[in-house]
């Protein structure tokens, strides 16, 4: 898989994937062995299994209609041909899946020399925005009161993300919130390749003391208007990603796999440096 997709989550899906790991199976067999319905007609079995697995990118079908696991893609796309979806979300707090919700989302696509804001929307979180959060983002309850809930824009968000590499500054934060919202709406989880511009900056700009969005923007000579709003922050991150990709290419990375390998080397070196004083202390 070289781009984002969604897949259903749940024990039945896991059981189906486990069963298919031993080989292809038709809908009637899966209905019996996975769903525990031995007497389903072929028509009913087909409908049940299609509802369970039909949208799952990890599963495909043979010419005879049997379901099978899809082998993951092995070829790594060139960096110059890769499309990145740079995401920024503003939220009611930091606890994704524990009550906090998205109040604004923006998605910028980076591909080669292109940096384009493809999606931006305020979102009604269905709960009050804490005053401390409003002081940072300037997003108020009044601004989101008549805006769509995430459920109303989920399909648009997925359409922009599909097939692209998920990127964000402090990526795990944005990934958790988008994934949490998608689970609430569709019962699906986000799956696919992702990158964090903080981690890339650690690898390719090791001399910087800070890798905050403000620090990186200053380093690259950029100005972020309306800081802590999703659109401007996503655009800034997109331009920063573009600069970091150029540095990666100068370091010898030509494909996504090259980029991830270079990033992993940096992470391994950091772990070794943290472990070295402890090891020396034991001597």
Give catalytic residue positions.
228
CA 16 to chain centre: 24
Please give the sequence-ordered ranges of beta strands (E in DSSP) within the chain, or none if there are none: 5-8, 59-61, 67-69, 84-91, 102-111, 114-122, 165-168, 188-191, 194-196
Query: What's phi and psi for 228, nearest 5 deg?
Result: 70, 25
Are the beta carbons of 185 and 150 closer than 8 angstroms? yes
Strands 59-61 and 67-69: antiparallel
Angle at 190 between CA 185 and CA 195, to 5 degrees: 140
d(CA 267, CA 89): 26
Query: What's phi and psi for 114, nearest 5 deg?
Result: -85, 130
């Amino acid at each position: 898989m070289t781009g984002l997709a969604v897949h259903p989550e749940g024990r039945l899906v896991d059981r189906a994937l486990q069963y298919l790991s031993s080989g292809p199976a038709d809908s009637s067999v899966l209905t019996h062995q996975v769903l525990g319905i031995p007497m389903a007609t072929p028509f009913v079995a087909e409908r049940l299994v299609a509802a369970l697995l039909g949208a799952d990118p990890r599963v495909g079908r043979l010419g005879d209609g049997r379901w099978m696991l899809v082998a993951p893609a092995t070829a790594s796309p060139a960096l110059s041909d890769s499309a990145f979806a740079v995401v920024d979300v503003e939220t009611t707090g930091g606890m994704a899946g524990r009550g906090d919700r998205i109040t604004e989302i923006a998605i910028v696509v980076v591909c080669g020399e292109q940096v384009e804001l493809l999606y931006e929307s305020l979102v009604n979180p269905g709960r009050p925005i804490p005053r401390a959060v409003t002081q940072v983002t300037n997003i108020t309850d009044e601004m989101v009161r008549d805006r769509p809930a995430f459920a109303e824009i989920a399909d648009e968000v997925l359409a922009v993300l599909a097939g692209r590499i998920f990127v964000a500054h402090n990526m795990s934060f944005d990934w958790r919130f988008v994934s949490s919202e998608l689970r609430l709406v569709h019962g699906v989880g986000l799956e696919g390749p992702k990158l964090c511009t903080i981690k890339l900056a650690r690898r390719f700009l090791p001399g910087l003391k800070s890798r905050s969005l403000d620090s990186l923007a200053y380093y690259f000579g950029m100005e972020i208007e309306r800081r802590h709003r999703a659109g401007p922050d996503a655009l800034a991150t997109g331009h920063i990603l573009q600069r970091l990709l150029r540095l990666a290419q100068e370091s010898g990375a030509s494909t996504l796999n090259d980029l991830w390998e270079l990033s992993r080397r940096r992470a391994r070196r950091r772990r070794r440096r943290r472990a070295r004083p402890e090891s020396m202390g034991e001597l």
